[in-house]
Amino acid sequence: MTKRSAFIGFMVVILAVFTALGPALAEEKREKPERGFVAAMVYPGVTLGVDDKVRVDLKVKNVGRSDETILLAVTEKPEGWKAEIKGYGKVVSGVFLGEGDDQTMTFSAEPEADKDRLPPGTYKFKVEARTRDGAFTQETDLTVEVVAKEKAAEGIKLTTSYPVLKGPSDAKFEFSLDVNNDSDEDALFNLSAVMPESWEVSFKPAYEQKQISSLQIKANQSKSVGVEVSPPPQAQAGEYPFKVKVQAGSAKAEVDLMVALTGTYKIKAGTATGLLSTATQPGQEAVISLYVRNEGSAPQRQISFVSFKPENWKVEFSPEKVGEIKAGEFKQVEVKIIPSEDALVGDYSVAVNAQGEKSSDDVEFRVTVKASSAWGWIGVAIILLVIIGLAFTFKFLGRR
């Protein structure tokens, strides 16, 4: 069989597959309703200890063919309790879902009197979800049983293979933790972290992108959870330790993690006014004040300068090198540009490259070369000589 015959056969098979799948996919799309959504607590009933926190995932999914904005509200809660819905760590009252999209948020509740301890008893909560126009409404319930003697796990083991991650300040760091339920009972594990100020953290199931605040693990089993950490934009280079905690009833475990920031490297070169042009004469110097600013979070050391200029021109820097510029600071460098003696009148381009540590920036100057003032006086003298010559000629011819 030739290569051409094999290729034709392959294309025939692919066409047949798409022909067979096309009606099925179209039929599946037709089976979807024009509008519709599902809202439900992932765990509609949980048993917690008095030292637990009420944190349950709330999932909302668009099952229709139209985009929807779903409004959420807590319509029922025990007296003296506070309840709210959070997404990405913020309190939310609605969520936008495109066709086929779903979002998982966190339903949290706590007694207003004593936020550190749950009173024993059975508590019911209800969340109402509805479309913006009120055409579709759905309710989901949560029953929380708080027992004085915890039925949660008696043992937790929290481990990680890589407790220290290193990278630049503008990167995201993801740790992988293994949560082991070493008890003989299924349990709901609440996740939390003690972070440096202005840092952000989120928890995700292994190989998934949705955010969670709790994890259901069966007895004597384990699950992996990802911890994504984001430093603030201008975080300085250094080591930042933090803790991740897991709790199920009275059983607790924590692990120490650390992010080692190398900082970001970025320098910016330019002038104070933003003007990138100057004028001079052949052989005469023009001086420009160049400012080099460290816009990264790591110090910049041994910054050097390179020029790209017309032939026989000179470009000098004072100082020739800058030893160090700290984050957010700048240094001034004098750039002396000297055109060649035989440079013609016109505009020329001189580029300057500031080369820092793992970062550089280019600045291009337009240099206008003007005629020397001496030539101006020479021109005036020639004009005067011509006038004198003409006057003498007219006078001489007039006598004749």
322: which 2 tokens?
């800058």
Q: How does DSSP assign 290-334, residue by residue?
A: EEEEE-SSS-EEEEEEEEE--TT-EEEEESSEEEEE-TT-EEEEE
202: which 2 tokens?
């989120």
**Predicted pLDDT of residue 210:** 86
Report whether pLDDT(2) > 70: no
Q: Largest alpha-carbon pair distance within the chain? A: 138
Residues 192/217, Cβ–Cβ less than 8 Å = no
Q: Is the peptide bond before 319 cis (omega within 30 degrees of 0)?
A: yes
Cα–Cα distance between 258 and 269 in angstroms, integer? 34
Strand-strand pairing, 90-91 and 121-131? unpaired
**Predicted pLDDT of residue 390:** 75
Residues 38/88, Cβ–Cβ less than 8 Å = no
Mean pLDDT, rounded, of the chain: 86
**Percent of the chain clearing pLDDT 90 (strictly above):** 55
Which of the four pLDDT bands, split at 50, 70 and 90, describes residue 150?
very low
**Predicted pLDDT of residue 132:** 92
> How close are the terminal C-alpha atoms of the chain, in Å?
111
Residues 350/365, Cβ–Cβ less than 8 Å = yes
Cα–Cα distance between 334 and 368 in angstroms, integer? 18
**Predicted pLDDT of residue 307:** 92
DSSP, collapsed to helix, strand or coil, labels residue 152 as coil
Residue with tokens 């992932």, as numbered in its chain: 42
**Percent of the chain clearing pLDDT 70 (strictly above):** 87
pLDDT in tens, 217-275: 998 899 999 999 999 977 888 899 999 999 987 788 999 999 999 888 889 999 988 88
Please tell me the least confidently modeled range out of 29-33, 37-41, 248-252: 29-33
Superfamily of domain 156-261: Immunoglobulins (2.60.40.10)
Across the beta sheet with 286-294, the strand order is: 267-270, 286-294, 330-338, 314-318
**Predicted pLDDT of residue 373:** 61
Cα–Cα distance between 158 and 178 in angstroms, integer? 6
Identify the architecture of domain 37-147 in CATH: Sandwich (2.60)
Report whether pLDDT(197) > 70: yes
Report whether pLDDT(105) > 50: yes
How many angstroms from the chain centroid is the CA of residue 103?
Answer: 21
Cα–Cα distance between 367 and 347 in angstroms, integer? 6
- Going from the C-alpha of 365 to that of each of 20, 86, 151, 310, 333, the distances in angstroms are 64, 53, 74, 12, 15
Superfamily of domain 267-373: Immunoglobulins (2.60.40.10)
Cα–Cα distance between 325 and 44 in angstroms, integer? 57
**Predicted pLDDT of residue 296:** 84
**Predicted pLDDT of residue 182:** 85
**Predicted pLDDT of residue 234:** 77
> What residue spans define the domains of the chain?
37-147, 156-261, 267-373
pLDDT in tens, 114-130: 877 889 999 999 999 99
Domain pair 156-261 / 267-373, same fold: yes
Which of the four pLDDT bands, split at 50, 70 and 90, describes residue 399?
low
